[in-house]
Amino acid sequence: MPVYAYKGLTNEGKAVAGVIDADSPKGARLKLRRTGVFPTDLAEERARRTAVAAAEPEPSRLQLNVGQLFEHITPQDLALMTRQLSTLVGAGLPLVECLSALIEQIDNARVKRTLSQVREQVVEGRAFAEALRDHPRVFSDLYVNMVRAGEASGALDVVLLRLAEYTESAAQLRSKVKTAMTYPILMASAGGTIMIFLLAFVVPKVTRIFAETKAALPLMTVILLALSNFLAQYWWVLVCGVIAAVIAVRVSVRTPAGRLRYDGYVLRFPYFGKLVKKVALARFSRTLSTLLSSGIPLLASLDIVKNVVNNAVLSVAIENARNSIREGQSIAPPLRKSGLFPPLVLHMVAVGEKSGELEEMLSRAADAYDSEVEASVAAMTSILEPVMILVMGAIVLFIVLAILLPIFELNDLVH
């Protein structure tokens, strides 16, 4: 269905702008009038962009394409939008008016365009959750299912507030992990680049004098010369090997079996695997707690959660547990059988089932794992920094000694 960009006036004389989908320009104008907007300018979105691009010089067109390329919706944008919508719905306004008010407040072009399309579908009579489902890149299955549960229960504002809190919590945890890992990654990248440059371009020029003397060289110097010659002559082999390995891994993880093997290796990786597992368990506990609190049945919640943990091994374990629960078992035994869930989660789940407070117990488990993840990341970065400095210092010392030792020997021969 074509999408039209419009400008118009409301009944109060306020200028508004946005996009609307309709079968024809006439249908678009009728839709706008039904919502209380009198269009003053209406053009099909694709045709309008083409006309603007044709009228502009080449640099402007390039800037437009670059701007659209980096246009995206961050978790913070989504959380803020959801919180604002929760406030508007909680004030008792009709959903269409809430969406219209929200569209006017939002600056992000992609969010504005998406919400405008959602609003038009709601005006046509579609359920809010079904309208959101048409935009999977913006609204996940978790988001859509929670909105559907909120609509069914009549507590949409409460569910939207929980969604906003969940999105903010997940974004904060992700941000903390990224921030903590940024410095070690930058240090490793810069140090590795400098070392490769030294070995490939600087060391050969300095050590050329050793080859001309044809004297016996220390073992350290021989090793350094071999590494330097290899990098100088076959650096392209190393680059091609790294690129080929990355491509092979990416192709492999696109298959179910390859993804399962890759995620299994990640979980078994020393220390880092434990950190990844804690992040996945925190996400599992937080998401399941949020879904159950919103009134979504346990089996449906587990079906959503298995896609949220972002690990195929844990997803298989959750799916097996879901099948066991469908057959009449409680939650804790099948999770324990997988051997992937630690005693803390199992204990919280078992206590929550018996006390009828499963959502609260899962929320506490998520809080505990969030704290553990933060502590683990802080500990890992505090260890990585001195280790990286020591490793780089050892490499520099090796290069210096490999160069100086033959010079000292030549000096002794001269004297």
pLDDT in tens, 225-275: 888 888 778 878 888 998 999 999 889 888 888 888 888 888 888 888 888
Q: Compute the Cα dihedral for 334, 336, 339, 344 and give only its sign.
A: positive
Could you tell me if 196 and 171 are in contact, meaning their C-beta atoms sit under 8 angstroms apart?
no
As a whole number of Å, the CA-based R_g of the chain is 30
What's the pLDDT tens digit per position in 286-305? 888 888 887 888 888 888 88
Q: Is it the case that residue 183 has pLDDT exceeding 60?
A: yes
Contact 335, 349 (CB under 8 A): yes
- Average pLDDT for 192-206: 76
CA distance 396 to 195: 8
Cβ atoms of 99 and 187 closer than 8 Å = no
CA distance 25 to 2: 9
- Topology agreement, domain 75-163 and domain 164-415: yes
Question: Computed from CA positions of residues 67, 71, 77, 82, in that sequence, does the dihedral angle turn out positive or negative?
Answer: positive
Distance CA 17, CA 9 (A): 9
CA distances from 330 to 279, 324, 325, 358, 362 (A): 24, 8, 6, 12, 15
Extents of the domains making up the chain:
3-69, 75-163, 164-415
Question: How much is the pTM?
Answer: 0.64
Q: How confident is the model at residue 36 (pLDDT cuts 50, 70, 90)?
A: confident
Q: What percent of the chain lies above the pLDDT cut of 70?
A: 89
> For residue 201, what is the DSSP state?
I
Least confident of 23-37, 58-72, 292-306, 348-362: 58-72
pLDDT class of 29 with cuts at 50, 70, 90 = confident
Q: How far apart, in whole angstroms, are the C-alpha atoms of residue 339 and residue 409?
A: 61
Q: Which CATH superfamily is domain 164-415 in?
A: Type II secretion system (T2SS), domain F (1.20.81.30)
Query: Could you name the CATH architecture of 75-163?
Result: Up-down Bundle (1.20)
For 235-244, 259-268, 329-338, 403-412, which range has the lowest pLDDT when averaged over its residues? 403-412
| Span 128-142, pLDDT tens digits | 888 888 888 888 877
Mean pLDDT, rounded, for 2-19: 74
